[in-house]
A and B are shown apart, each in its own frame.
Chain A
Amino acid sequence: MIPTLLKPHPEVWVYLAASPLSWLTLTLAAYLVADRVSIACKRHPAANLVALAAIFIILALKASGTSYETYFAGAQFIHFLLGPATVALAVPLYRNLERVRATALPIAAALGVGSLVAIVSAVAIARLLGAPHEIVASLAPKSVTSPIAMGLAEKLGGAPFLTAALVIATGVFGGVILTPLMRALRITDPAAVGMAAGLASHGIGAARAFQIDSTAGAFAGIAMGLNGAFTSVILPLIRPLLGM
């Protein structure tokens, strides 16, 4: 009698696996563990929070044979907050209004140069390595936030969902190299660091910039927004030059 009482009904796992609660809890728990690991690594840039948490979750999903669709049905409640968080970037931007106003020219120039380098270098390197057209087209808009990048890649003949994956890889990699690269270039101005993070590696880069400094985060926010707009205008225009 007692053993049967202690043994959970097998259907409980079926029920919990289908419930958003399990996947929401897993996401928060993985993030907390990732945060602990990051602290234990003394916030080393290679211990990127987004990458660590995603790896833990992917391993858990593979081990339990859970599909991404099932996982996302729960995790979408966290994903939804990305929209309001993007809007909220206006707040640090406004707090840095004086700084933004005084650096309008450097912002505009860095936007133009950085955006073109991001597009042209990705296309050139992929071509040089003999990548198929679908991959080259999916890589071209990799530095901008995924909703924009997916639409742009599709127009160029890329695969939208492959682009989404490349955009994420770009963001994670951009977050990892940000501080070592800026240190190597001897760039200490948080505004310059933030511009680089947001322009080249969109929101995931901006998330990294916020960990460094709120001014860096503010500039990352504006760089991300401006590069999204600028790339969607410039990419169709330079398309013939890229041979696409």
Chain B
Amino acid sequence: MIAAFAGILACQLAGEFVVHAFALPLPGPVLGMFLLFAFLVLRGGGGAVPHKLGDAADGLLGHLSLLFVPASVGLMRYLDALAANALTVILAVALSTALAQAATALTFRLLARSEPMSKP
């Protein structure tokens, strides 16, 4: 468990290092995700992840919502700025988010259908 968590932190650290060293427009943890993914692909487990790494990841992701709570409370600092443009902001966020979700899902479905999932 400790080793798995250390591995996850090492990926994040490597991600942060590369992002800052090369001034990439990406957050370190996102690059860290791609690094861990690359490690798992190179290790070759046919879709199976080491047990302890799997447990650590499931533990972190099982309550992902909780981890967003502290940042979301930060909304309280911008309530005035948001209220001043409330209608615009609400309509733009709501409509645009719905349109983006619909466009993404419909595009995916359209092409995933023409390229059947069934294995030969």
Contacts and interface: CB of A to CB of B under 8 A. Distances in A.
Contact of A103 (B47, B66, B97, B115): B115
B64 A117 contact: no
B43 to A, nearest CB: 9
A145 B53 CA distance: 24
Contacts of B64: 85, 203, 206-207, 210
Output the residue of B58, B60, B64, B107 with the most chain A CB within 10 A.
B64
A187 B8 CA distance: 34
A242 B43 CA distance: 44
A152 B89 CA distance: 18
B2 interface: no
A143 B89 contact: no
Interface string B36-76: 11001100010111000110111011111111111111111
Interface residues of A, number: 115
Contacts of B35: 87, 90
Given A177-B97, A196-B101, A105 B111 contact: yes
B92 A195 contact: no
Nearest to A186: B109
Given A92-B57, A129-B87, A145 B106 contact: no
A94 B40 contact: yes
A175 B45 CA distance: 33
Contacts of B21: none
Given A75-B70, A110-B105, A166-B89, 15 more contacts: A50-B68, A91-B40, A92-B57, A117-B100, A122-B93, A129-B91, A152-B25, A181-B102, A187-B105, A187-B106, A201-B101, A211-B65, A217-B61, A232-B26, A233-B25
Interface of B: 5, 8-9, 11-12, 15, 25-30, 32-37, 40-41, 45, 47-49, 53-54, 56-58, 60-78, 81-82, 85, 87-89, 91-112, 115, 117
Interface of A: 27-28, 30-31, 49-51, 53-54, 57-58, 61-62, 68, 71-72, 75-76, 78-79, 81-99, 102-103, 105-107, 109-111, 113-115, 117-118, 121-122, 125-126, 129-132, 135, 139, 142-143, 145-148, 151-152, 159, 161-162, 164-166, 168-174, 177-178, 181-182, 185, 187, 189, 191-193, 195-197, 199-201, 203-204, 206-208, 210-211, 217, 221, 223-225, 228-229, 232-233
